[in-house]
Amino acid sequence: MQILHTIADLRAALPVPQACAFVPTMGNLHEGHLSLVRQAKAHGLPVVASIFVNRLQFAPHEDFDRYPRTLARDAELLQSAGCDIVFAPDEKELYPQPQTFKVVPDAAVADILEGHFRPGFFTGVCTVVMKLFSVVRPKVAVFGKKDYQQLMVIRRMAEQFALPLTIEAGETCRAESGLALSSRNGYLSDAQKAKATELAAALSALADASKSAGADLTALEQQAVASLNGMGWAVDYLTVRRRADLLAPQAGDTALVALGAAKLGNTRLIDNLEF
């Protein structure tokens, strides 16, 4: 496995476009990331995983500075999963000048839910992902369903710009407790990790209640928020949306997803459940 830090070295290793499968990450890897690498590997192409903590998607009050940088450990994990190339540029390599040109996604999908509570987040995500696509030039890129809205935004971006690649979704990996694996779980104490399963349980209960004929979704969502807040969380949202566009479901819609974001202590967690 090669560990490359410059665009020039990556282009030298992969001189032909559409010759690799790509898994972009911010590092601090866990089994969820490795499952995406193994999924990418199934395409029979060299697998490139990027490690880059993208300043553009963090608000000033968020955790950019304390986000763990664990390249040596991450490289070992990626090698064990069959990764061929780790692309780990520093900030000056990917942003040699201030990134004044940005990719601003459609507000209809990017300014709701995560985008509402984290203004500018998806502009930062789309800008770095577009740049990475330009640098890596993959045939397929794999993103996890754990970041459900991000996956949708990236898919829309690829369609809108006619990018010559396929966006593939990987399933969310969970601990035995049901907690969705996340790099930010490392911020949690052992007691908080045990308690963190309440978010997935709340989404499951909301999804089950939503299946009832004539269910009042607004009331159910309000009850779910009140219940989780009552257990010591600070909820941003618990909601049911259509999988296709993340809009509120209409009568007869069946392909739905329950999505949630909430803070436990100082750690903000997100999760979702398709049903």
pLDDT in tens for each of the 275 residues of the chain?
Answer: 999 999 999 999 999 999 999 999 999 999 999 999 999 999 999 999 999 999 999 999 899 999 999 999 999 999 999 999 999 999 999 999 999 999 999 999 999 999 999 999 999 999 999 999 999 999 999 999 999 999 999 999 999 999 999 999 999 999 999 999 999 999 999 999 999 999 999 999 999 999 987 889 999 999 999 999 999 999 999 999 999 999 999 988 999 999 999 999 999 999 999 99
Torsion of CA 5, 75, 148, 235, to 10 degrees: -110
Instruction: Provide the annotated binding site.
Output: 26-33, 57, 144-147, 150, 181-184
pLDDT for residue 36: 99
Strand 47-51 and strand 2-4: the pairing is unpaired
Active site residues: 33
pLDDT for residue 32: 98
pLDDT for residue 212: 87
d(CA 87, CA 237) in angstroms, rounded, equals 35
pLDDT for residue 84: 99
pLDDT for residue 260: 99
Question: Superfamily for 185-269?
Answer: Pantoate-beta-alanine ligase, C-terminal domain (3.30.1300.10)
The domain defined by 2-170 folds into Rossmann fold (3.40.50)
| Contact between 272 and 144 (Cβ < 8 Å) | no
Average pLDDT, whole number, for the chain?
A: 97
Residues facing residue 264 across a β-bridge: 267
pLDDT for residue 147: 98
Q: State pTM to two decimals.
A: 0.95
User: pLDDT by residue (tens digit) across 185-228?
Assistant: 999 999 999 999 999 999 999 999 999 878 899 999 999 999 99
How far, in Å, are 29, 97, 137 from residue 184 at the CA level?
A: 10, 29, 29
pLDDT for residue 256: 98
Q: Which residues contact 102 (CB under 8 A, 6 or more apart)?
A: 56, 123, 124, 126, 127
152: alpha, beta or left, given left = phi > 0 and alpha = psi -120 to 50? alpha
Domain locations along the chain: 2-170, 185-269
How far, in Å, are 14, 102, 146, 179, 272 from residue 173 at the CA level?
A: 30, 31, 8, 9, 12
Instruction: Provide the annotated binding site for ATP.
Output: 26-33, 144-147, 181-184
pLDDT for residue 151: 98
Neighbouring CB atoms inside 10 A of 41's CB total 18
**2-170 matches 185-269 in fold:** no
How far, in Å, are 187, 198, 274 from residue 259 at the CA level?
A: 21, 13, 9
